[in-house]
Amino acid sequence: MDRMRRPKSRTGKGSARSVDAYLSAMPDRCRVALEAIRKTVQATVPEAEEALVYGVPGFTLGGKALVCYAGFREHCGFYPLSPAVIRAHAAELMKYDTAKGTIRFSPAEPLPAALVRKLVRARRAELQSESS
C-alpha cells in the first residue's frame, strides 16, 4: 500500500500550498484519477478559477466554491459541496459511497467524465441561481 506524502500546512494537517503540489504528493493511482477530474472540470467550466478550497484542490466561480476533489489512502473524493446536487443525481451515484456533500470512489474505478460534467453543471446552475 502506498503511503501518501503531503506537504505540511499551516494547520499541520498536511495540506499543500498549491494544487500542483497537492497532486504531486499523491500516489500515482490517486493522481491519475484526480487529474482526470481536474481536466474535466476545467473543460466544463473554463471560467472557473483553480484554487485550494478548504485545503484541497478545487475550483471557485464568482468567488464561491464550485467543487473540490481529494485523495486519501484508500479512496478519492469528489465534493460538489451541495447535498441538493447529490440528491438530484442519487440514481447515478448509487454505486458510490455518498454523504451530505461527498462522493467517495476507488482510484481504480474513477468517476466517469460524463458524470463529473453533469455534477459540475448542476453545481454551477445552483451557484448562479443563488446569485440571482
Q: Is residue 10 part of a domain?
A: no
SS3 38: helix
Q: Which three cell numbers stand for residue 79?
A: 465534493
pLDDT score, position 14:
54
Find the CATH number of the domain harbouring 125. 3.90.1150.200
Q: How many domains does the chain have?
A: 1
pLDDT in tens, 85-123: 999 999 999 999 999 889 999 999 999 999 999 999 999
Distances from the Cα of 15 to the Cαs of 49, 117, 121, 129, in angstroms?
A: 19, 26, 27, 31
Q: Taking 70 as the threshold, does the pLDDT of residue 2 lie above it? A: no
pLDDT at 15: 55
Would you say 24 and 35 are in contact if contact means Cβ atoms under 8 Å apart? no
Nearest to 67 by CA among 22, 76, 86, 57: 57
Residue 14, in any domain of the structure: no
Per the DSSP assignment, residues forming a β-bridge with 68 are 58, 79
Query: Does residue 11 lie within any of the structural domains?
Result: no
Which pLDDT does position 59 carry in this prediction? 98
Domain membership flag for residue 107: yes
Is 12 a domain residue? no
